[in-house]
A and B are shown apart, each in its own frame.
Chain A
Amino acid sequence: MKLVMAIIKPFKLDEVRQALTELGLQGMTVTEVKGYGRQKGHTEIYRGAEYAVNFLPKIKIEVVVPAKMVDNAVDAIVAPQRPVRSGDGKIFVVPVEQTVRIRTGETNESAL
């Protein structure tokens, strides 16, 4: 099992959710976050003075998938980002040691 963790632009969430659902994934966790990568935020103007907004609003999607589905899940997240632009985000894939479904006690892939 792998944890696919993607940081994306907020307005892309629905398309990504739909693409992941079409893969057959049963659930995901979504968090509103702020941050920056190489894009380094942006500047805004207030009363004629420019100030830096360093942390931009982003969405973090976390979904645990069987190892064989990782590439498909990554593709499902990347595809809706076209045409690509600066600040589209990052995807991290992390090993998962164990999964437990609380209600039934099922573990690992059967718990997904």
Chain B
Amino acid sequence: MIVATAIVLMMSIPGLALFYGGLVRKKGVLAVLMQVFAIVCLMTLLWYFVGYSLAATDGGSLNAYIGGFDKMFLAGIGSDTLSGTIPESVFFMFQLTFAAITPALIVGAFADRMKFSAVCIFMCMWLIVVYVPVWHWVWGGGSFRKMGVLDFAGGTVVHINAGVAALVACIFLGKRVGYPNENMAPHNLVLSVIGASLLWVGWFGFNAGSALGANGGAGMAMLATQVATAAAALAWMFVEWLVHKKPSVLGIISGAVAGLVAITPACGFVDGWGALWIGIAAGVICFFMSTAVKKALGYDDSLDVWGIHGVGGIVGAILTGVFAVEAIGGTAGLLEGNPGQVLTQLWGIVATIVWCGIATFVLLIITNILVGLRVSEPVEIEGLDINLHGETVQ
């Protein structure tokens, strides 16, 4: 679990930071690295102060919705305290890495145009108001768990949450100056390939680690993760090859991330065959959402956080209900004669979208009132790096 925790942290820094850093234009690379790094630091302290307690403890009469304050500042947690069969300190750290990467995912949607101060304030509020309650609903004994919603490693908690917040945020902030007519292609896909590859490796910690032990469940989760990711990467690549006549580096790494996202809720419940189809579905659907649908609807989700994490998370959550194997995860899916599981999954998805969407919108309004969300047009055109951080990449 300690190794799993370490490599999930590696997903954020440097994995996600490099992935996003390569995808933006040169004038904004340091800003996005800075945002991811600062968010990891901020979420660490917030998770320690109050986040973990509100997520993972009993909330009494409000327990269906939120936890309590019993473990603020890790009160009562020592070296011998257990969470299940592992030290609670390790469980706290493992979940801290999830709390760190989820807000960091969102920054890709409004890359190149949001104030750094606004990013910090918004993300702190978002963790407590959005992430922590959904974590509690799914993993902390809240309403989702009672209803039987399946989410092994965070398809709902991490990816749908981040994806919905990303969509709301990018629409709220508006398009980048020059979008969609100017060249906004990635400035360094080598960085993005390194980042995506680190994400892939780290995802074994994310998914297999969510078994909270070195056991057969962890092994199956790891296997499913690998199969789905490869399938999704190839699916995106082949569809892009067919539609746009060239298989791109950006496409194959985007497909891989889509597969990783989609298998996240399913990995502890499905076999290799289910993982294969989840991967293919994620690769194809996320490709069209990030290209044709985004273009048709006209929103500027800069790095396709909604198109990959939001949509991939939804695809994975639904297909978990289809491909779940009772012998693996203890719950049968549609293919094993339990169509109700798909409806349960849909309920979880809708509830998350509604809560996350509304709360994110309100938090953006509050942040806008406090410090303003968007940089001025000249600052955006010249770039966030030099204007907000006083540094540039040569």
Contact = CB atoms under 8 A, between A and B. Distances in A.
Nearest to A51: B183
Interface residues of B, number: 17
Interface in A36-83: 44-49, 51-53
B181 interface: yes
Nearest to B251: A47
30 contacts: A44-B183, A44-B185, A45-B244, A45-B246, A46-B183, A46-B184, A46-B185, A46-B186, A46-B250, A47-B250, A47-B290, A47-B291, A47-B294, A47-B295, A47-B304, A48-B244, A48-B291, A48-B292, A48-B294, A48-B295, A49-B180, A49-B295, A51-B180, A51-B181, A51-B182, A51-B184, A51-B185, A52-B181, A52-B183, A53-B183
Contacts, number: 34
A46 B244 CA distance: 10
A24 B246 CA distance: 44
A36 to B, nearest CB: 14
A76 to B, nearest CB: 35
Interface string B168-209: 000000000000111111100000000000000000000000
> Interface of chain A, helix or strand or loop or mixed?
strand
Nearest to B181: A51
Nearest to B245: A45
Interface string B16-34: 0000000000000000000
Interface residues of A, number: 9
A13 B391 CA distance: 35
Contacts of B184: 46, 51
Contacts of A45: 244, 246
A72 to B, nearest CB: 40
Nearest to A46: B185
Nearest to B288: A48
Contacts of B250: 46-47
Task: Please give me the 7 A-B residue pairs with the lowest Cβ-Cβ distance, nearest first.
Answer: A48-B291, A46-B185, A51-B183, A49-B180, A47-B291, A49-B295, A45-B244
Nearest to A53: B183
A52 B185 CA distance: 11
A49 B294 CA distance: 9
Given A46-B250, A48-B294, A51-B185, 7 more contacts: A44-B185, A45-B246, A46-B186, A48-B292, A48-B295, A49-B291, A52-B183
B250 to A, nearest CB: 8
Contacts of A48: 243-244, 290-292, 294-295
A48 B186 CA distance: 14
A45 B243 CA distance: 11
Contacts of B243: 48
A52 B184 CA distance: 11
B217 to A, nearest CB: 37
A45 B182 CA distance: 11
Contacts of A51: 180-185
A47 B294 CA distance: 9
A45 B290 CA distance: 13
Contacts of A53: 183
A46 B291 CA distance: 8
Which of A46, A47, A49, A52 counts the most chain B CB atoms within 10 A? A47
A10 B133 CA distance: 57
A6 B181 CA distance: 31
